[in-house]
Amino acid sequence: MEYKKELQRLIEDFKTNYLPSVSVDLVIFGFHDGQLKVLLLRWKGTEEWCLPGGRIRNDENLDDSAYRSLRERTGLREIFLQQFYTFGDVLRYKHIDQHETLRKLGLPEEAVHEFANRDVSVGYYALVEFENVVPTPDFFTDECRWWDINQVPTLLFDHNDMISLALKTLRRQLSYQPIGYSLLPDKFTMPDLQQLYETILGQSLDRRNFQKRMLGYGILERLEERKFGGAHKAPYLYRFDKEKYEKVLAEESLFVG
């Protein structure tokens, strides 16, 4: 059976070339239709969902292994990726009997024990442009797709906690990380930008104040184009002035809320 053979190969590969007891998990955020989204995987033959993740090669820096996993699941190379917390409780697998789940996948006992070992997992969050992602499942999963942040189901392991903490970190870091730059397309309207911040902060913002403050930073360049197609008057399109944006972030002075 092709599947079993490939699995055997994977186990050998893990034993030989990867660090034991440490792994990486990824909270990949995208923004689409005014909603913050997160990329999830569905385990083979089950209805169980979890975050993408991976292991660290013996000869690979921790950050590089996170970039590699992110590339494998999204197809993207140039991405905002940042470590936010390392999860190391003994009982990280509270929602399921992990051994049972792995057996259901048809894994032989040896593989069950290899993969159900206790891991300390380093959490990273990524900000990606939704449009550019090609969601790609891995060997253990059937499906990889976006979920609205407000509709995420009960996930395997401690992955719901990971998403909560990633989101909390994102909020804290709004003032000094290139959140807008990473999540929005190259050209966007002022309402797009406001909606992004509102979604992340989980609260609505005053339209006039928001616009005034954002323009006050001098980080936005107003284009000659407008966005047509909506019911209202066509709004202007903007683009970030990357240099000025990074200067403001370096001063940690981009306050929005």
Interface of this chain with a second copy, residues 59 to 78, rule: CB under 8 A: 59-63, 65
- Chain mean position to CA 151: 15
| Residue selected from 1, 16, 47, 58 as contacting a second copy according to rule CB under 8 A | 58
The CA-based angle 34-162-245, given to 5 degrees, is 50
Q: Whose CA is closest to 65, among 102, 22, 118, 99?
A: 22
CA distance 78 to 48: 30
| Residue selected from 15, 20, 142, 204 as contacting a second copy according to rule CB under 8 A | 20
Backbone angles phi, psi at 165, to 5 degrees: -70, -35
Query: Total number of residues binding a second copy (CB under 8 A)?
Result: 22
Binding to a second copy by residue 215, rule CB under 8 A?
no
Q: Tell me how far, at minimum, the Cβ of 3 lies from a second copy, in Å.
A: 29
Binding to a second copy by residue 88, rule CB under 8 A?
yes
Binding to a second copy by residue 21, rule CB under 8 A?
yes
CA distance 28 to 30: 7
- Show Cβ contacts of residue 19 under 8 Å, excluding neighbours closer than 6 positions: 55, 56, 57, 58
| Residue selected from 87, 115, 157, 240 as contacting a second copy according to rule CB under 8 A | 87
Amino acid at 210: F
Q: Tell me how far, at minimum, the Cβ of 117 lies from a second copy, in Å.
A: 9
Half-sphere exposure of 165 (CA within 13 A, CB side): 16
Interface of this chain with a second copy, residues 96 to 135, rule: CB under 8 A: 118, 120, 122
Binding to a second copy by residue 83, rule CB under 8 A?
yes
CA distance 15 to 8: 11
Amino acid at 90: V
Binding to a second copy by residue 56, rule CB under 8 A?
yes
Q: Tell me how far, at minimum, the Cβ of 88 lies from a second copy, in Å.
A: 2
Binding to a second copy by residue 253, rule CB under 8 A?
no
Which parts of this chain interact with a second copy (CB under 8 A)?
19-22, 56, 58-63, 65, 83, 85-90, 118, 120, 122
